[in-house]
Amino acid sequence: MEEKRKIGIIICDRYRRCAGGKCFRSLRNRDGAFERYKNIEVEVVGYTTCDGCPGGNIEYAVEEMKKNGAEVIHLATGLIVGYPPCPHISYFHDFIKTRYNLEVVYGTHPVPQKYFIMHDKLGTWDNPDWQKIIQVTLVDEETRLSYN
């Protein structure tokens, strides 16, 4: 591994007590949104919540992550799979990209199968915008099951 990427992860505040188990496991295994780093060393330079709706921590946390060298910000899978999914996720993506000129990735770990089933029944991700958002975290069923 010659290349190295510094990343930041922002999680949904409703999961503020999350220790990051699925995110860090998927980073180690290069699953879901972390598959893009298959042959790249990764350093996590920040891990925090959005601070709750409407995301008051997005501005300040990303600024600090960038000062710590972040090149990519991941909007965690919890923002995608929660009930309801984050209504501000697209705005966060666009704001971070525009304000900080950083690459922003939707998701971290693969969507767990139980969330896939429920959101499929609810039709949550039926529109093209959500299809783009879930793209890299919607892996095969066997992997989704392993993240239940």
User: Distance between CA 70 and CA 8 in Å, rounded?
Assistant: 6
What pLDDT, on a 0 to 100 scale, did the predictor assign at position 2? 62
Pick the CATH number of 4-146 from 3.40.50, 3.30.750, 3.30.70, 3.90.25: 3.40.50
- Domain ranges within the chain, ordered by starting residue: 4-146
Which portions of the chain are predicted below pLDDT 50? none
Q: What angle do CA 8, 29, 41 make, to 5 degrees?
A: 55
Could you read off the pLDDT of 66-88 as tens digits, one per residue?
A: 999 999 999 999 999 999 999 99
